Structure 1
Amino acid sequence: MGPVRSELMWQAVVDATDLAGAGALLDVLDLGGGTGGDAVRLAQLGHRVTVVDPSPDALASLHRRSAEAGLARPVTGVQGDTADLLDHVQAASFDLVLCHGVLEHVDDPAAALAAVATVLRPGGSVSLVVAGRNAAVVARALAGDFVTAQTLLDRSAATWDVRTMGPRRFVQAEVEALLDGLGFSVTAAHGLRVFADLVPSAIVDTEPGSRDALYALEQVLRTSSDFSGLSAGLQSIARLDLSVASPTSGGESATL
């Protein structure tokens, strides 16, 4: 199942770079990019990539991965997070920010996105991937944990306490409201992993052709409004309006 998930996430990165650059080489910030699996692949395509991540171990792995890939322009790795982002990278210096799996963990998602906006050039894009709340409700109900399913259903991203409830989960309307409030215009919205997190790995790993068939099904369903809301991951690609000056982050400090 792991290869299906990773390729679906890589497709999300490809979609973001295609929409942000239309074939151009980009300055890309992979925020919370960890060990650099996506970052190195982007660098191999010629993009100039910086990873900001709070984990020194992950950044050490990124350095090794980058060196082993023999990149003409190595990926830059910086230890940091959304709270001190401007201490490490310049304002208005990136064409695209990948913010995948970050807003689930921060104290203030709006402040984290505001920090992202400050480092984007006018007209730059963000690819935002967050965990879907509806998928968590379905997963808990299928596991027979109906009380937790109801609890998740009754929560919102704004009332979520990451310290007691774990990573925050969103519905698409909440994501769009966050982006709109910071001067972003959504150019594409996709579901990620509609079924990939629900199908037992034993089926995908043992049945001939199942992995490819699941991937093909996910590719069809990711743009379906009937199914995307049930996805384990929600991707929004949004462009910073040209008329919007880079905002400064406000509210509580946010960390990855």
Structure 2
Amino acid sequence: MDNPIRQALVARQLEEQITARFPVGRRLKVLDVALRDGYQALRLARAGHEVTGLESDPALAAAVGRVLADEPEGIRERTHVVSGDSRSTGAHFLPGSFDVVLCHGALVPGDEPGPLLAGLGRVLASGGLLSLLVPNTGARAMRPGLAGDWEGALAGLALSDPADPDERALRLDALTAALTGMSTPLHRWYGVQVFTGGDTALPDGEEGERLLAAEERAGRTDPYRAVADALHLCAVRD
């Protein structure tokens, strides 16, 4: 699994938003853009939802297919993998086709998020939930600084220039404005991995649960969530 701590935290946050927004037992239509290892998509399929994954890398799509082959027939029948780039949603799906759209990791610094976000909003049904996971470009110096890597911290501070348009595009305020402009205003946001980095292993048993409990609480609490490794934005289509 790609970064089990991050995946577990996002899963909990996503479940909270889905439970708050949709009736219990409703089978949702879910699109996972940039499917990758398919962790969130498979979790939602196992929960009874109809899931479509969009993935441009044939090797990643094939890996998800191998995992699906070992799943029960019902899960296989309601999980579909489509070959395509994250910005090609309009070519594959009709407007308003999905109740939930996930886009976790497709946006990186230097990207212009507008076209991708517009495509995601187009395929999201009215009242639907958009889940975005983006790197926290405003806190790049935190992890190296906490590790005593002062050269890395200085480099992160130099990259976190709010005047740089490449950096600003993925900042919370810029994404909030973009989402509002496409009639999908931000409903809730979380910090993901306040205390741990991407290379931190998730311990087994009670220690792992305590780690996740601390991360989950910090991820919804100011000022901690603002310095997390990543930001999880949950927006709702008007």
TM-score (norm 2): 0.86
Per chain length, whose mean CA-contact separation is higher, i.e. which structure has more relative contact order (CA < 8 Å, sep 6+)? 1
Residues in 2 aligned to 1:157 and 1:115: alpha-carbon distance in whole angstroms: 25
Q: CA deviation at 1:227?
A: 0.7
Size of the aligned set, in residue pairs, is 231
Is 1:134–2:160 an aligned residue pair?
no
Distance 1:19 1:233, change over 3 A: farther
Q: CA deviation at 1:80?
A: 0.7
Is 1:11–2:23 an aligned residue pair?
no
Q: CA offsets per residue over residues 159-216 of structure 1, 9 Å max, x none?
A: 34xxxxxxx9833222212211211122211111111218965xx659x843222111
Any idea what SS the aligned residue of 2:45 has?
helix
Distance 1:186 1:2, change over 3 A: closer
Query: Which position in structure 2 is the counterpart of 1:96?
Result: 100
2:210 to 210, 213, 221: 213
Q: CA deviation at 1:157?
A: 7.0
Runs ≥4 in structure 1, deviation > 6 angstroms? none
Distance 1:71 1:190, change over 3 A: farther
Percent identity, aligned pairs only, is: 26
Give the residue type in structure 2 aligned to 1:37.
Y
Residues in 1 aligned to 2:130 and 2:95: alpha-carbon distance in whole angstroms: 14
Residues in 2 aligned to 1:169 and 1:227: alpha-carbon distance in whole angstroms: 22
Q: CA deviation at 1:3?
A: 3.5
Residues 132 and 169, structure 1, Cα contact 8 Å, conserved in 2:
no
Give the residue type in structure 1 aligned to 2:192.
L
Give the residue type in structure 2 aligned to 1:151.
A
Distance 1:65 1:86, change over 3 A: same
Is 1:33–2:35 an aligned residue pair?
yes
Distance 1:128 1:114, change over 3 A: same
Q: CA deviation at 1:70?
A: 1.4
2:231 to 231, 234, 241: 234
Residues 27 and 49, structure 2, Cα contact 8 Å, conserved in 1:
yes
2:79 to 75, 81, 84: 75
Query: Which position in structure 2 is the counterpart of 1:224?
Result: 221
Residues in 1 aligned to 2:163 and 2:236: alpha-carbon distance in whole angstroms: 25
Residues in 2 aligned to 1:158 and 1:174: alpha-carbon distance in whole angstroms: 10
Distance 1:105 1:56, change over 3 A: farther
1:84 to 63, 88, 91: 88
Any idea what SS the aligned residue of 1:229 has?
helix
Distance 1:110 1:19, change over 3 A: farther
Residues in 1 aligned to 2:90 and 2:181: alpha-carbon distance in whole angstroms: 21
Residues in 2 aligned to 1:105 and 1:62: alpha-carbon distance in whole angstroms: 27
Residues 191 and 226, structure 2, Cα contact 8 Å, conserved in 1:
yes
Give the residue type in structure 1 aligned to 2:150.
G
Aligned Cα RMSD in Å?
A: 2.6
Query: Which position in structure 1 is the counterpart of 2:150?
Result: 144
Give the residue type in structure 2 aligned to 1:134.
G
Is 1:110–2:114 an aligned residue pair?
yes
TM-score (norm 1): 0.80
Residues in 1 aligned to 2:88 and 2:32: alpha-carbon distance in whole angstroms: 15
Distance 1:87 1:111, change over 3 A: same
Residues 140 and 148, structure 1, Cα contact 8 Å, conserved in 2:
no
Residues in 2 aligned to 1:198 and 1:89: alpha-carbon distance in whole angstroms: 33
Q: CA deviation at 1:155?
A: 4.2
Query: Which position in structure 2 is the counterpart of 1:53?
Result: 55
- Unmatched 5+ stretches in structure 2: none
Residues 44 and 71, structure 1, Cα contact 8 Å, conserved in 2:
no
